[in-house]
A and B are shown apart, each in its own frame.
Chain A
């Protein structure tokens, strides 16, 4: 057995899957992430297990879906009996497991699972120290054991606070004087305000949406500067030839698409994420994989694969991306993925190579053809010859998926949210499971 590589897992928070200049986005420049993309393979059909911070991150570190690990939303704890990657790799290998930055897995003491070298804060305050903590680790690590270094950057999540305002319009008042610098609205922008985050956006004019996009891209660039610093430090260090780097985001951001900001829904802007893997000489550089569907808990299986550590218990869904990354022919890759969101109400997304169906807990269903309609502007449920058949196929996928998961029966609320909400969530799932 070969010596396992060092693993550097770099994650950012709330990054739209196309907010990268390497992918042709003209409204920002991300030289750091672009270097990662140039050195590695981009998996462009990657998704969050659940597009909210806490559940998505819990899936990364447990290999389980949100309905299994208990973190059904921000505010819910990881179930006690489920191990996390730091514990598991620490127990089953010689890896030095190190963590800097955002964790956001409630109910699990980070410092007991990893060697914690830096805490977290909002990105503008904390991301530079996170990069420096990791760089300090790289500079000083003298051990002969491999390391598993995690860097949890917070930005562009600061977009949630970007007004910096005290009840007024904040620096959004600059929008009019900067109009020629603001990006245009997405083509699928709708001038209605969705229910979610309505308080924040309900009075926005078009120019305020555009200013939101402008500042959002600046937050991404801010994260990029620190991601790039850390990445270059790793790839110019003595560890470069035996290190795999994984870069991703926990979920996306509305960024004006469909008139959305933030996250917590199954449209592409929130659900889909960037994912890049780099390993010198083993993972092809500059390659883009648009075909294989990957989802957050696959990273758990991937990291365990690299660490040569057995799977954690009951990881029935997760698949290692390593063979795909290394260019191996993989004949039995999954045909579809299932993601979920529970944001006071339930939604489940099923995506295959071409179509996506979103099932809402109120019975509403939307079907989109992502090849013909990547901006999800035409609900095919309005076209009886396509929508119902896609929905039926995806319902069958969903049923198969539900047969593989083991629902976490107890919602352990860390703060703020009512246990009743978790029961609603369980009911939503049980209803789906019992549906014929």
Chain B
């Protein structure tokens, strides 16, 4: 079955299940979770912060119900752009997306935004999330815009080279590609201990990151409420990023500030 057909059928199936009220993830009157954490007068995990950049999208959002990111998977995320806030809800639109495929120790991504398509192939260690070697191809629609970079990480230094340049960056922590975080988060291992790492975002080094489990979030979605685990990433060169994950290991929502990701398909 072609992937596109599969996704289409999966979507129809989920829609039918939803209509019949058979989606276990959705609980219209979920009980309060004891792990919710109060800070000051705000519950930072259930009040808007973790989801606030995408609140305008959530009433149209149906969490994916099939697949898991704990084993091989192919996921598609929409890039939701935060534009403004009106009437107490975020407004924005879809400005691109990413396809992520993970199999064994190989991650492949195709990201589109701002007229730029970036394809990456990363070989690493699935369990650790570490990226050892990778290739990045960047293209625009215009002529003479393409370049290819080969990257590698030897445990202490990452090196990136194209036909024209070579760049080296020292690393202090394991180098983990940002989309290789998905299986790591899905595994639940970060619930036991925070993860300290340097993040590879395409070929850009984003150093000194920490990802930790923060508790559960009740997220209002189409037709009810989804109870999702919330993980918070903080560090240099990012705005705080929340990963919202269901109990079957699907990273459903990723929120930062201007750029946010919504899981559209998973197989």
Contact = CB atoms under 8 A, between A and B. Distances in A.
Interface of A: 28-29, 31, 117-119, 121-126, 128-130, 132-133, 135-142, 158, 161-174, 176-178, 181, 215, 218-219, 221-222, 224-226, 229, 232-233, 236-238
Contacts of A161: 82, 257-258
12 contacts: A31-B169, A118-B115, A128-B204, A140-B146, A142-B144, A164-B255, A165-B85, A171-B52, A171-B257, A172-B49, A173-B42, A225-B206
A165 B82 CA distance: 9
A236 B234 contact: no
Contact of A162 (B48, B87, B89, B257): B257
B202 A136 contact: no
Q: Which of B85, B201, B208 has the most CB of A within 10 A?
A: B85
Nearest to A235: B165
B256 interface: yes
B164 A125 contact: no
Contacts of B40: 176
Contacts of B163: 139
Q: Which of A119, A171, A219, A237 has the most CB of B within 10 A?
A: A171
Contacts of A181: 234
Contact of A229 (B145, B204, B257): B204
B1 interface: no
B113 interface: yes
Interface string B54-90: 0110000000000000000000000101100101111
A408 B238 CA distance: 42
A181 B208 CA distance: 13
Given A118-B114, A121-B114, A124-B257, A215 B204 contact: no
A236 B149 CA distance: 14
Given A129-B113, A169-B49, A222-B239, 10 more contacts: A122-B81, A163-B52, A164-B255, A167-B88, A168-B47, A168-B49, A170-B53, A171-B240, A225-B237, A233-B162
A233 B95 contact: no
Closest 10 CB pairs of A and B: A221-B237, A236-B165, A140-B144, A164-B257, A124-B258, A129-B116, A164-B53, A139-B147, A136-B145, A129-B114
Given A170-B52, A222-B237, A132 B116 contact: yes
B236 A29 contact: yes
B49 A171 contact: yes
Nearest to A220: B237
B166 interface: yes
Interface string B195-211: 00000011111111000
Contacts of B85: 165-167
Q: Which of B40, B55, B90, B164 has the most CB of A within 10 A?
A: B164
B239 A133 contact: no
Contacts of A31: 169
Nearest to A142: B144
A155 B112 CA distance: 20
Contact of A136 (B44, B82, B146): B146
A218 B115 CA distance: 25
Given A215-B239, A218-B236, A233-B167, A173 B44 contact: yes
A13 B164 CA distance: 28
Given A136-B140, A173-B47, A119 B258 contact: no
Nearest to B169: A31
A302 to B, nearest CB: 26
A114 to B, nearest CB: 13
Given A128-B204, A168-B47, A140 B88 contact: no
Contacts of A236: 164-167
Interface in B209-267: 232, 234, 236-240, 255-259
B58 to A, nearest CB: 10
A123 B258 contact: yes
A74 B97 CA distance: 31
B220 to A, nearest CB: 12
Contacts of A163: 52
A221 to B, nearest CB: 4
Given A166-B88, A174-B44, A139 B142 contact: no
Contacts of B255: 164
B187 interface: no
Nearest to A120: B114
A137 to B, nearest CB: 7
B138 A135 contact: yes
A158 B256 CA distance: 12
A236 B204 CA distance: 16
A135 B113 contact: no
Q: Which of A138, A162, A222 has the most CB of B within 10 A?
A: A222
B261 to A, nearest CB: 12
Contacts of B257: 124, 158, 161-162, 164, 171, 215
Contacts of B204: 128, 225-226, 229
Nearest to B90: A166
Interface in B25-40: 39-40
